[in-house]
Amino acid sequence: MGEQILKIRHLSKAFGTNIVLKDIDFTVSKGDVTAIIGASGSGKSTLLRCINLLETPTGGEILYHGKNILDHKTNQPQYRSHVGMVFQSFNLFNNMTVLENCVIGQMKVLKKNREDAVKNAMKYLERVGMAPYIKARPRQISGGQKQRVAIARALAMEPEVLLFDEPTSALDPEMVGEVLDVMQNLAKDGMTMLVVTHEMGFAREVSNQVVFMSDGIILEEGTPEEVIGNPRHQETKDFLSRFRNVPNVQ
């Protein structure tokens, strides 16, 4: 694999006395597609939110190209613009059109002029198949379309890593496919991605690294064949058995 982008070391997070992440260690290299799986409440979202500093970790280090972003000198907004995030609930800006959603960050954060920002936004909106909808507002499009716009919005910032927190969990079943397709294409093009998902088919077919979380720790990690195909821990087996009858994507 390519150069290391993110190295998580001994990361921990507590909300008051509730310890949610304990001693998390793993590495993301360029082009990696890492699937994070695990039961609800095991800390998957918290891990992603710590990685782009939406939550402040209580211990450990997050090295971004070797630099610890948890020290006080880090320019947080600037760091976040390199680490995109796609949320379960889309979080598109309700006061803007589809196009504006993808333009505003480029202009305000990356200080691009409007023309370049629009051109770039269109490039990514076309890529996710949402170019015809640039004039629509979030409330006027479907869940799957919203999520594709959210992906285009994140891509338009040209991040090095893209974090996905259960991107298809809020979607009606018939819309899951269109979003997974977009993500699979991104992976094929070499995008570095960290994906919290319950889509075992996607984890198996698309990712090259699977992390199984349980109660705030990483219980197992490895290739999809290792973790999903041949889990070592009973807990992983139990978790996966609940997905037995879910067919693979495509």
Partner 1 sequence: MGIFQQLISDIGKLLSRYGGAYLNGILNTLLLALSATLIGCLIGFLCGILQTIPYQKNDPFLKRFFLKLIRAIIRIYVEVFRGTPMVLQAVFIYYGLPYFTNSAIRFTSVWAASLLVVSINTGAYMAESVRGGIISIDPGQTEGAKAIGMTHFQTMLHVILPQALRNIMPQIGNNYIINVKDTSVMFIISFTEFFAVHRAAVGATYLYFPSATVEMIGYLCMTLLASFLLRLMEKKMDGKSSYELINQDQLVMTAGTYNYPAGQNVERR
Ligand X SMILES: Nc1ncnc2c1ncn2[C@@H]1O[C@H](COP(=O)(O)OP(=O)(O)O)[C@@H](O)[C@H]1O
Task: Give the interface with Mg ion as residue ranges (CB under 5 A).
Answer: 45
- Site track for partner 1 across 38-57, x = CB under 8 A: --------------x-x-x-
Sheet with 33-38, strands from edge to edge, namely: 83-86, 161-165, 192-196, 33-38, 209-214, 217-222
Minimum Å gap between C-beta 169 and partner 1 is 14
Query: How far apart are CB 166 and Mg ion at their closest, in Å?
Result: 6
Provide CB contacts within 8 A for 3, sequence distance 6+: 29, 30
User: Does 84 sit near partner 1 (CB under 8 A)?
Assistant: yes
> What is the DSSP code string of 31-53?
T-EEEEEE-TTSSHHHHHHHHTT
Minimum distance between the CB of residue 164 and ligand X, rounded to whole angstroms? 12
Stretch that binds partner 1, among 20-28, 38-46, 88-96, 178-186 (CB under 8 A): 88-96
Q: What is the largest CA-CA distance in the chain?
A: 55
Which residue, 141 or 150, has its beta carbon nearer to Mg ion? 150
* Three-state DSSP class for residue 69: coil
Q: Where are the beta strands (DSSP E) in 111-169?
A: 161-165
The per-residue b/e assignment along 96-134, b for 16 or more CB within 10 angstroms, e otherwise, is ebbbbbbbbbbbeeeebeeeebbebbbebbebbebbebb
How many residues does the structure list for the chain? 250
Q: Does 163 bind ligand X (CB under 6 A)?
A: no
Chain residues 124-183 in contact with partner 1, contact rule CB under 8 A:
126, 131-137, 140-141, 150, 153-154, 157
Tell me, residue by residue from 34 to 53, as one string, x for binding to ligand X by CB under 6 A and - for no binding: ----x-xxxxxxx-------
With contacts defined by CB under 6 A, how many residues of the chain interact with ligand X?
Answer: 11
Which residues of this chain interact with partner 1, rule CB under 8 A? 52, 54, 56, 77-82, 84-85, 87, 89-95, 97, 104-105, 108-110, 115, 118-119, 122, 126, 131-137, 140-141, 150, 153-154, 157
